[in-house]
Chains A and B, each alone.
Chain A
Amino acid sequence: MRVEGKGLINRDTRVGFSFDGQRYTGFEGDTIASALLANDVRLTGRSFKYHRPRGILTAGSEEPNALMTVGEGPSQSPNTRATTQDIFEGLVARSQNNWPSLKTDILSVNDAFTNFLSAGFYYKTFMWPRSFWEKVYEPFIRRAAGLGALSGKHDDDRCEKAFAFCDILVIGSGPSGLIAALAAARAGADVILAEEDSRFGGRLLTETYTLDEKPGHIWVDEVIAELEAMDNVRLMHRTAVTGAYDQGTYGALEQVSNHLAAPHADAPLECFWRIVAKQAVLCAGAIERPIAFPMNDRPGIMTASAVRAYLNRWGVVPGREVAVFGNNDDAHRTAHDLAAAGVKVAALIDSRPDADVSGDFPVYTGAEVVDTKGRLGLSEVQIRTASGTETLKTDCLAMSGGWNPTLHLTCHMNGRPIWNDSIAAFVPTPNMVPGLDVAGAAAGVFSTKGALKSGLFRAKKALDALGIKTPSIPLPKAEDAAYNITPLWQVAGKGRAWLDFQNDVTTKDVKQAAAENFASVEHMKRYTTQGMATDQGKNSNVGALAVLADATGRAIPETGTTTFRPPFTPVSIAAMGAGGRGKGFAPERFMTSHAATVERAAPMIEAGLWYRPSYFPRPCETTWRQSCDREVEMVRESVGIADVSTLGKIDIQGPDAAAFLDFVYTNTFSTLKVGRTRYGLMLREDGYVMDDGTTARLGEHHYLMTTTTAAAGPVMRHLEYVHQCLCLDMNVRFISVTEQWAQFAVAGPKSRKLLNTILDAPIENESWPFMACGPVTLLGVDARLFRISFSGEHAYEIAVPARYGDALFRDLLARAEALGGGAYGMEALNVLRIEKGFITHAEIHGRVTAFDIGMERMVSAKKDCIGKPAAARPGLVDPERERLVGIKPIGEVKQLVAGAHLFNPNDEAVRVNDQGYVISVCYSPTLDSNLGLAFLKNGPARHGETIMMVDHLRRLEVQCEVCHPVFLDKEGEKTRG
């Protein structure tokens, strides 16, 4: 029900929305909760376990009951707190965890079986038979107990991530936060003021306090206007600081557009911020706690501060006859505010016999609520006074068990709060998060004047730490009421008394946990699930541990608290992982030939971040094998073109370049002549093979190293490590030039013929022999030509500055096609190299040595190199190691598969008989046979033997012959041709 003349909503703008299919109207500035209460809707959801009818309990982010699914279709957002979601025109909200409807929920039958569903119920009941857990019990329980669900469909809404930096982060914008931000801002510090609400002001918006005789919200507006005008201040509302992390980093979730009816198409839904602050002041206020009295969970029973908030901020009163029940003076404000607004106050019930209460309404001191009635909403309460029990008609009960400082962030680095008896609450221990100080109610200072003083004082401390002088700021005149409280954790009586509303945990559950010796607060939490719901027990933690303390005969400080962990409020995974969806997961690297390659319909495969063509299909070809076989034959018989730009290229210069290479490679490069290229092998420090590739000597002190595509980054890192840590004195400099050059393999018997059509000065076999390299010009462009071969053919690699890559690739293809050749892709490249027994990272997979791949003689005896001593360890030169061989099928079955294992013909194919494994396979059109490279125990000594290839997965047993790993042209005559 609306109250005329109250509230900070804009009554000129009506907003239509729906809840469970029913249309309602609210005003601009309403949350779903305030608008529903204005429409006299009290029932908003069903509880987790018992499916009990529940209503709105609070007016903030701590709300445990009024969780809704907002939106429809793929982007529906479950478990949205009605108390924090603004309404907008067309908003669609649905209640959760009920069937067929909120008012008639079949599973509320659970409520009748309360005695069975108590703490530990699942552990005790669903143990037998064991196999039933996964198939029967768990699916059923998940269906019966739960909250909202995602749509299960792809959600196109976009979130984003962002970083922010500041001198002082102020978290919360109540009186302490505002004065802290104002002081820091006026002092000239870079300030971020973060407020989780849609509006700055905190409790100043929800109370009738005056500051300097002005209504609280007017003072708020003045301060915000001043801050807004300053360049050094960033005001972030709808931004909940969710976690405190190392080195002054705070996580924060900003609601960007999920409160808007028609957000900008490019605006994200939410933004997840990482704010790095030199100093931070936590001014997060406090959360009022409920009282655990019997049947305290009915719709219409709310916290007293929430009732005030709805009245003062939203002009809504949640009932027609409101009763107030509390154990502290603050609760009295609710009765007074309601009475002043003309709302009937049914009673003010104070549990303290000595409470000082006055008011124009019935007052009961030393009294407690002992029962309530009303199936879908509160209709009456029963109170017990010194003289007996009494029944009161009321449709809204405002309760207050006192206040808990919102100190969660201070505990995010495993700090523990300390108990303060005078306010019967935990308060932050100083310095639990470095650089984070706490002010106002969050520090247990509850009066407005106290909060202002505390905010200013903590801001000054933060400024002092930064060496900034704090300007003098007169504090506004504000109330300074004492906060008197006598703890009341639970009210004895029949019926269940809820502690954790969201997870349906009652005082009985906690006592049962204690009785079953789950007496530690952390054990109690897990046994009862108290505090494990999406609200993380914001309302219930302290109450539950007080009940536990009582049940175990300990004091509260002795019992301790559970651990507060980030996030303070729920953060969607979509926000934390923003930007990572689809291709956002990893960047794409494209070669200069990409466009021309895609135009030729080549399927692209990923090689690290690079995209490379698998094969180049021709119109008549229907399978990849057809294209691959053709491309292999093309290279063997005429000429093929392949983009090899993805191979790492490292430019190495300096007087010690040769010595440096001698140290990182197993073989010698100081003896390489200028204008020549040499194959090199690189070991890790542990003696295993790291990478291989060719290195060209471009000048006396100038080399160009190539690496494999996969190891381009790791090799660069390795070189940096070796230079910076092992041989800093070497005068050598290196830098990646992978991207500077577009490089193409021109391979096949007609390669020179093709090249001579574009080279400005033609080459001959004598002038440019195998392994020659040097500068050339082609079509007027400076280029580099290398006579190297990864196919075993007479072949070259030609490199041009990347700007010409696209043009040269197209040009080379046209010329190759005119000669009966064309482009070849990764599949053909792989077949060509297997035929020649050349290794890739399939073979040098990190667990093989130079000895294993038959390259032990490449480890020079004349010099030291990285990995040489380690590679000489006895275990690494044992002839019985699995070493590289070729295999060919010789039986009926011809199929070879990589990953299959090798066994002696008469052995059973089990682990203990394992002789090795197959690492690369292909069909060779050149030799019309399947070929495989394999690692076989003592392989080189077993050429000619028969071995069985067994693949248990594919049920393959293939008889093979062991042979030399080079299947084609062992002498390398073709490359020299």
Chain B
Amino acid sequence: MAELIAKTPAEGLLPVTAGTMTLTEILPACVTSVAPFKGQEKAASAALKAACGMTMPGPNRATGKDGARAVWMGQGQVFVLGPDAPADLSQYAALTDQSDGWVVMRLHGTGAEDVLARLAPIDLRATVFKRGHTARTTLLHMMMSVTRSGANSFDIMVMRSFAVTAVHDLTIAMKSVAARE
């Protein structure tokens, strides 16, 4: 029987390197949006904690670590990246598969902050936007989710169809920053 070949959201676009910075695609095994039902926030958080080891993050925060991270995505909405969402969570929250809807990228290297300063209008200084902080903001004309995943690294998500433009815009900014060093 024929088989459908899967493509990643940034297939053929990444990785990109400029100076000391790299942009790579991250492929979480699964991405699930979790939106707790009315009054179920604590129960949802507990179920997530029990199954995946991290609580539901509050606004502008991410919990967990590489491989199993929960990222705040908006009012009453969290993305769990990595593990399958535990089945019992569906009692407390609307779960929706988003594994194919977003391109997840990591911008890493000294200068990563400067790269994003050319694309996003928010304050991403390390003293303000610390590890585990996340924000919904814009990447030039696109909406994005950005999470600080390390001293010099950010995890960036944009919707899948924007992958080409997002990689293009990030690459230009990376080269521009690298050219100044």
Contact = CB atoms under 8 A, between A and B. Distances in A.
A163 B120 contact: yes
Contacts of A160: 118, 173, 176
Q: How large is the interface on B (under 10, 10 to 19, 20 to 34, 35 or more residues)?
A: 35 or more
A731 B172 CA distance: 44
A835 to B, nearest CB: 30
A592 B103 CA distance: 13
A733 B97 CA distance: 14
Interface stretch (B33-41, B46-54, B59-67): B33-41
A800 interface: yes
A811 B101 contact: no
Given A610-B161, A739-B161, A804-B4, A733 B94 contact: yes
B16 to A, nearest CB: 13
B109 interface: no
A697 B112 CA distance: 45
The CB with the most chain A CB atoms within 10 A, among B4, B33, B122, B162, is that of: B4
Contacts of B35: 653, 733, 735
Nearest to B3: A779
Contact of B8 (A161, A165, A803, A811): A803
B42 interface: no
A891 interface: no
B140 interface: yes
B128 A586 contact: no
Contacts of B8: 803
A801 B99 CA distance: 8
B143 to A, nearest CB: 10
B175 to A, nearest CB: 4
B6 A803 contact: yes
A805 B163 CA distance: 15
A467 interface: no
Given A579-B140, A651-B96, A802-B100, A739 B176 contact: no
The CB with the most chain A CB atoms within 10 A, among B9, B94, B166, is that of: B94
B142 interface: yes
Contacts of B123: 165, 276
A755 B117 CA distance: 49
B121 interface: yes
Nearest to B171: A266
B7 A806 contact: yes
Contacts of A736: 101
A655 interface: yes
Contacts of B1: 779-780
B180 A274 contact: no
B165 A587 contact: yes
B179 to A, nearest CB: 4
Interface in A572-597: 579, 583-584, 586-592
Contacts of A120: none
Task: Describe A's contact surface by its main secondary structure.
Answer: mixed
Contact of A586 (B2, B114, B141): B141
A780 B94 contact: no
Given A579-B140, A804-B4, A590 B179 contact: no
B98 A800 contact: no
B4 A807 contact: yes
A765 B166 CA distance: 44
A164 B117 contact: yes
A223 B56 CA distance: 48
Interface string A63-86: 000000000000000000000000
Contact of A739 (B6, B100, B127, B178): B100
A163 B121 contact: yes
Contacts of B37: 654-655, 731, 733
B72 interface: no
Contacts of A162: 114, 117-118
Nearest to B38: A731
A591 B5 CA distance: 16
Given A266-B175, A267-B179, A587-B162, A811 B98 contact: no
B3 A740 contact: no
A808 interface: yes
A801 B4 CA distance: 11
A804 B4 CA distance: 6
A266 B4 contact: no
A734 B118 CA distance: 32
A733 B76 contact: yes
B18 to A, nearest CB: 8
Given A164-B117, A587-B141, A587-B165, A267 B180 contact: yes
Contacts of B77: 733, 735
A724 B75 CA distance: 10
A802 B4 CA distance: 11
A778 B101 CA distance: 20
A589 B97 contact: no
A903 interface: no
A653 B102 contact: no
Nearest to B103: A739
Contacts of B163: 590
Contacts of A802: 9, 100-101, 160
Interface in B115-148: 117-118, 120-123, 125, 127-128, 140-142
A264 interface: yes
A588 B96 contact: no
Contacts of B179: 264-267
A160 B5 CA distance: 39
A190 interface: yes
A736 B73 CA distance: 12
Contact of B96 (A589, A737, A781): A737
Nearest to A579: B140
Contacts of A739: 100-102, 159-161
A187 interface: no
Given A587-B162, A589-B161, A779 B180 contact: no
A488 B7 CA distance: 77
A644 to B, nearest CB: 14
A769 interface: no
A268 interface: yes
Interface string A581-623: 0011011111110000000000000000010000000000000
A256 interface: yes
A741 interface: yes
A267 B100 contact: no
B164 interface: yes
Given A268-B176, A779-B1, A800-B4, A165 B125 contact: yes
A587 B33 CA distance: 25
Contacts of B118: 160-163
A706 to B, nearest CB: 15
B4 A740 contact: no
Contacts of A590: 161, 163-164
A653 B7 CA distance: 29
A651 B32 CA distance: 13
The CB with the most chain B CB atoms within 10 A, among A266, A587, A653, is that of: A587
A812 to B, nearest CB: 11
B94 A807 contact: no
18 contacts: A163-B118, A165-B123, A587-B140, A587-B142, A587-B166, A588-B165, A591-B161, A610-B161, A654-B37, A731-B38, A737-B98, A739-B101, A800-B4, A802-B9, A803-B9, A804-B5, A804-B7, A805-B7
Interface of A: 158, 160-165, 190, 256, 264-268, 274, 276, 579, 583-584, 586-592, 610, 651, 653-655, 724, 729, 731, 733-741, 758, 779-781, 800-808, 811
Given A163-B118, A266-B18, A733-B35, 18 more contacts: A165-B125, A264-B180, A266-B175, A266-B178, A266-B179, A579-B169, A587-B141, A588-B165, A589-B162, A590-B161, A590-B163, A733-B76, A735-B35, A780-B1, A804-B5, A806-B7, A807-B5, A807-B7
The 4 closest A-B pairs by CB, nearest first: A653-B94, A733-B94, A589-B161, A802-B100
Interface of B: 1-9, 18, 33, 35, 37-38, 75-77, 93-94, 96-102, 114, 117-118, 120-123, 125, 127-128, 140-142, 159-166, 169, 172-173, 175-176, 178-180
